[in-house]
Amino acid sequence: MTSTRTIDDVRSGLEANGYLADQGLATSILLSLELQRPLLLEGEPGVGKTEVAKALARWTGAPLLRLQCYEGIDISQAVYEWDYSRQLLHLRTAEATGSATAESGDQLEAELYSERFLVKRPLLQAITHGDGPAPVLLIDEVDRADDEFEAFLLEVLSEYAITIPELGTFSADVPPIVVVTSNRTRDVHDALKRRCLYHWVEHPDLAREIAIIQMRTNEVPDAVVEEVAQMVAVFRDMRLYKPPGVAESIDWATALGRLGATHLDAEMADSTLGAVLKYREDQQRVRAIGFEDLIKANQG
What pLDDT digit, counting tens, does each position of 42-101 carry? 999 889 999 999 999 999 999 999 999 999 998 888 999 999 999 898 888 877 776 655
Over 90: is that where the pLDDT of 293 sits? no
What is the pLDDT at residue 21?
A: 94
Angle at 247 between CA 246 and CA 251, to 5 degrees: 115
**pTM of this structure:** 0.88
Look at residue 208 in the predicted model and tell me its pLDDT. Answer: 95
The answer to whether residue 266 scores a pLDDT higher than 60 is yes
The per-residue pLDDT for range 90-121, each reduced to its tens digit, is 888 877 776 655 556 667 777 888 889 999 99
d(CA 121, CA 153): 14
Range in 61-65, 122-126, 251-255, 286-290 the model is least confident about: 286-290
- The residue extents of the domains of the chain are 7-71+129-200, 80-116, 206-294
CATH architecture of structural domain 7-71+129-200: 3-Layer(aba) Sandwich (3.40)
- What are the angstrom distances between the C-alpha of 108 and each of 62, 84, 112? 37, 14, 6
d(CA 89, CA 93): 6
Per-residue pLDDT, 296: 74
Task: Give phi and psi for 227, each to the nearest 5.
Answer: -70, -40
| Contacts of residue 209, Cβ cutoff 8 Å, sequence gap at least 6 | 203, 229, 232, 233, 246, 249
The tens digit of pLDDT for each residue in 227-241 reads 999 999 999 999 899
User: Average pLDDT for residues 171-198, to the nearest whole number?
Assistant: 94
Residue 42's CB is within 10 A of a number of other CB atoms, namely 20
Report d(CA 289, CA 295) in Å as an integer. 11
**What pLDDT was estimated at residue 1?**
39
58-82 burial, b at 16+ Cβ within 10 Å, e below that, comes to: bbbebbbbebebeeebeeebbbbbe
Q: What percent of the chain has pLDDT over 70?
A: 95
- The pLDDT value given to residue 103: 55
**292, 266 in Cβ contact below 8 A?**
yes
- Please give the pLDDT value at position 111: 80
The per-residue pLDDT for 75 is 86
Q: What is d(CA 65, CA 136) in angstroms, rounded to the nearest whole number?
A: 6
